[in-house]
Amino acid sequence: MDSKPSPSSGRYENSKKPYLSKSVSDANSHNQSLASILNNPHAGKSDGWWWPSNSSSLAVVPEFTPLNPLPKPGSDIARTDFLPYIASFSDPFARFDDIQQHSKSSLLDDQNGENALVACLREVPSLYFKEDFQLEDGATFKAACPFRTAAENLVMQEKLSQYLDVVELHLVREISLRSSSFFEAQGQLEDLNSKIVEGCKRIRELKETIRLLDTNLVGPARKLQELNVKRSDLVALQNKLKLIIYVNQALSTLNLLVASADCAGALDVTDDLQHLLDGDELAGLHCFRHLRDELATSIDSINSILSAEFLRITIQETGNMDAAITSKFKARATIAISGEGHEAKLDEEETSNFRDRLLPFVIGLLRTAKLPAVLRIYRDTLTADMKTAIKTAVEELLHVLVAQPSDSDFVAGERVADTDGGSSSLASRLRSLAPESFVQLLKAIFMIVQVHLVQASEVKKTIEWIICHLDDHYAADSVAAAIALGAAAAETASESDGQITTFSQFSPPSNFSRLFSIQEKGNDATTMSNLSRIFRADILRENTEAVFAACDAAHGRWAKILGVRAPLHSKLRLQEFLNIYNITQEFITATEKIGGRLGYSIRGTIQSQAKAFVDFQHESRMAKLKAILDQENWAEIDVPDEFQTIVTALFSSKSETSGHADDDSADTATSKTEVVRNSSDPSMVDAGLLNISHNTEPTDSTSTHPDNTAQSNDMKSRERGRSSPRMLSFGGVAYHMVNCGLILVKMLSEYIDMNNSLTGLSSEVVHRVVDILKFFNTRTCQLVLGAGAMQVSGLKSITSKHLALTSQVISFIYTIIPEIKRILFLRVPETHKGLLMLEVDRVAQDYKVHRDEIHSKLVQIMRERLLVHLRSLPQIVESLNRQEDTDSQPSQFACSITKEVGLLQRVLCRTLHEVDVQAIFRQVVIIFHSQISEAFSRLDISSQQARQRVYRDVQHLLGCIRSLPSDIKSNPPNWGQLDEFLEQNFDAEASQ
């Protein structure tokens, strides 16, 4: 019970309410203010009726001493005069100030979240604040009074009194904090009561004044107003009846105008009716509840008429021209490949008539804001009509073209025969066409597409002329007004989230009223100009898209037709493929010029087919070249005139066109090569070369083996009886050729033709040329230097003649590589030139290395033959030391060496160029000097006859060495170590 009471709100607080209310009422009955009682500094114990009974221990405040009378004005007043007053007032003031400070601290405590009731709950036990607190209850009484003795109960009663005082103290504190607001509210309530009484009095006076005014003034005026309103209603009714008659007549007129297809008059009527609907004139008339739907139906009918006429004028009239073109091709009329010869154009009069016919329908569609939508329909219809026209032309012409005989037997086995009278598919019949017939079919499609695109282009130009350039025309004002209406309609459609499904959302009459409302609200010319510009841009965009869609559809059909025959095109001859490629490029150029955009689909198709053509041609040529190399016997053949013409035509353009651009030189080379292609059938040339290769006997069977000497002599005598073979000349230098070399030259010319014709694939062609040059060089090296020809083509040995002819072929290819590079790189893009030039230069370097290796092989052959003969030299000298030699001629050793060297010299001089021969024999001379002098220096010559024989052999060998061609200038020629050996060891023999 000594603990501080817990915070709670219970019975105790409720039980004290009557007491507090009674105290407040007593204070009010005595007209006392609770605040003044609390703040009275002279209050004594007798005035503290509200103070707790146990507060007798508080000090009694003495009464204030009466104040001294104020001094008269002008008398001297000092601070000491106030000391008695301050002394008498100091204690009550100190107590008053303490109370004020205590109140402030209580306010601070309240601001920290603690009020008087919380303080009570902290000091008084929570038991007394329970809602169900009843001392009559046994358990509650035991909890409140647990003591049994009277003394303990008295102490408990005293504590209860203290708890009551604590609650009263805190309640009084709360009341003191709120006393100023309470009395202020009470004063305001009294003022409000007085004002209410005064207001009621004024209301009674005002009601009386109103009654008098209503009786004397308002009554007659109101009756006059009612009569005027009735008269206005009758006039409005009459006008409404006239409006109903006008609307009925307008509806009848509208039906007649729609039935007679007078779209301009019908649109004028709909504008008037829609203006009435958008206003308030027809509001509430039940008889016109369906008028908006009727106008929507009429507008739909007008739009249908305008759209149908627009499509009829722009599309349907081209059908007769398609039939005429098809009939012309069926009659096998001669038509040039160039599209410029059959370009369809309209003259000035036809253009003027076409514009006059299309103008009213375009104006009508502008007024209804349907021109963009109709242009989209026109685009789809034009695209479908283009596809249908192409398909119809293909089906009709296939019956004629399939039956035509083909001049070319290429891919004849792959053509599909239509034996069942047209039951095969369209694709199979297209694949069965000969290349010439297919080109004729493409020409017909080209002309039909051009007719449709020219018509579409004229429609595009006419609409652009109406929209943008109709300045001085009589219909300029009508077009401007129609564009303004259409712009407003487009704005309404955009505000309706683009849902152009009902007449109320997208109708020109409503936009007509919208146009007037915009002008009436501020004459915003800038807004109308922006709307018109956006509407114009929308029309022009759809107009352009229609033509481009038609071009794209034509490109798609053309690409599809090309795709059907894609497997066949890669196997065509170059000229046959070029006919298809060129007409396709011409078709692309003509259609893109009309459409205004690039056709990526058809460009990709023709480019892929061109690449497939190049790949197939390259693969076939690689396989053909491999077969020819495997059959090559490396014998010299006469060069046909066709191949000399090819070389001359290809590589003479550099000197003839040195003052012209690179493209001109390439074109000149191309034209010359075409002359060569047309003069002779390449397949016949190939067959002739093969026959020459197989029927020509080896012109030189010189071998490094001694057993072949007799055979070589027989061949030498046989060659003397016939004329020298014709060689291939380039740059003033003639080259001996074999069959595979001529075939490679012809293939390179074909690659150059492909490069000049298929300019978009120049990089690919250069790669293929590099591949075939690499393959020829590598395979030739394997067959000749690697002696692979002995296993593949059945050669018994690889002779010096074979090596020399191979060197000639390799040297010729190495010589023309820079010219090939110059011609090919005229068409190669700059971005690809760097790497490709490195590839070509690397191939040229490989050819140079191969040629040098062949020359080194010839030197090695002569060195090996020399070493073979030098091995028998010690035995010969030893036999000379033992027996007497009576022969004055050089020994067989020296004669054999000089004979073989002379034979090699004749072969190389007859086959190789002088520079190459000199370079080869320069090395041979060095080897002869070093090897022979070294071999003779190791000999043990003991007899005079042996010395004379060695001297004669050395002289004979030096004579042979002197006669060998060499690029070393010396006197005597080819002087070397053997000469020094002779001077050092045989001076006596030389003097004799």
pLDDT given at position 803: 93
User: For 219-233, what is the mean pLDDT?
Assistant: 87
Residue 114: pLDDT band (50, 70, 90) is low
Average the pLDDT over 775-795 and give the result: 91
Check residue 991 and give its pLDDT. 54
**Structure confidence by residue, pLDDT tens digits, 310-347:** 888 887 666 566 677 777 776 654 444 344 444 556 66
- What gap in Å lies between CA 402 and CA 123, rounded to an integer? 120
Amino acid at 56: S
Cα gap 639→561, rounded to integer Å: 43
3-class DSSP assignment, residue 734:
strand
In this predicted structure, what is the pLDDT of residue 806?
94
Residue 368: per-residue pLDDT = 77
Question: What gap in Å lies between CA 670 and CA 186, rounded to an integer?
Answer: 119
What does the pLDDT read at residue 14?
41
Full-model pTM: 0.62
Which pLDDT value is given to residue 330? 66
pLDDT of 117 > 60? The answer is: yes
| DSSP states along 44-104 | -STT-TTS-TT-TTSPPPPPPPPPPPPPPTTS---GGGGHHHHHHHHHHHHHHHHHHHHHH
Say yes or no to pLDDT of 152 above 90.
Answer: no
Give me the pLDDT at residue 458, please. Answer: 85
Q: Tens of pLDDT along 361-388?
A: 888 787 777 788 888 888 888 889 888 8
HSE, CB side, 13 Å, CA atoms: give it for residue 364: 27
DSSP states of 217-283:
IIHHHHHHHHHHHHHHHHHHHHHHHHHHHHHHHHHHHHHHHHHTT-HHHHHHHHHHHHHHHHSSTTT
Exposure of 300 in the CB half-sphere (CA atoms within 13 A)? 11
Residue matched to tokens 């007679």: 260
What residue spans of 632-696 are helical by DSSP H? 641-651, 653-656, 662-679, 682-695
Model confidence band, residue 840 (pLDDT cutoffs 50, 70, 90): very high
Give the confidence band of 631 by pLDDT, cuts at 50, 70, 90: very high
Both tokens of 320, joined, read: 């007769």
- Are the CB atoms for 592 and 598 separated by under 8 Å? yes
How many CB atoms lie under 10 A from the CB of residue 480? 13
Largest Cα separation within the chain, whole Å, is: 190
**Looking at residue 733, what DSSP letter applies?**
E
The reported pLDDT for the residue numbered 147 is: 75
- The residue-averaged pLDDT of 413-441 equals 68
Burial class (CB in 10 A: 0-12, 13-18, 19+), 238: exposed
The token pair at 655 is 């000197």
Q: What is the pLDDT of residue 168?
A: 85
Indicate the range of 218-222, 394-398, 413-417 predicted with least confidence.
413-417
Burial class (CB in 10 A: 0-12, 13-18, 19+), 688: middle
CB of 549 within 8 A of CB of 597? no
What confidence score (pLDDT) does residue 686 get? 40
Query: Which amino acid would we find at residue 481?
Result: A
pLDDT at 489: 64
Q: How far apart are CA 299 and CA 303, in angstroms?
A: 6
Q: Which residues contact 59 (CB under 8 A, 6 or more apart)?
A: 95
Average pLDDT of the chain is 74
* Three-state DSSP string of 570-596: CCCCHHHHHHHHHHHHHHHHHHHHHHC
Among 346-355, 496-505, 759-768, which range has the highest average pLDDT?
A: 759-768
Position 740 pLDDT exceeds 90: yes
| pLDDT tens track for 259-308 | 877 777 777 787 777 777 777 777 777 777 777 777 777 777 887 888 78
Are 666 and 756 within 8 A, CB to CB? yes
Which of these, 906, 909, 908, 898, lies nearest to 803 by C-alpha position?
908
Q: For the ranges 26-40, 394-408, 521-535, which has the lowest average pLDDT?
A: 26-40
Residue-wise pLDDT for 551-568, tens only, equals 888 898 998 999 999 889
The pLDDT value given to residue 475: 67
CB-CB contact of 930 with 972 (8 Å):
no
Kind plus residue range of the DSSP H or E element containing 146: none
Which pLDDT score is estimated for 579?
A: 92
Task: Tell me the C-alpha distance between 728 and 104, whole Å.
Answer: 128
Render pLDDT for 661-717 as a digit per residue (tens, 0 to 9): 444 444 444 444 443 444 334 333 343 333 333 333 333 333 333 333 333 433 443
Give Rg (Cα) of the chain.
63
The predicted structure's pLDDT at residue 819: 92
pLDDT at 793: 85
pLDDT reading at 23 higher than 70: no
The pLDDT value recorded for residue 300 is: 79
Q: Which of 284-298, 358-372, 488-502, 582-596 has the highest mean pLDDT?
A: 582-596
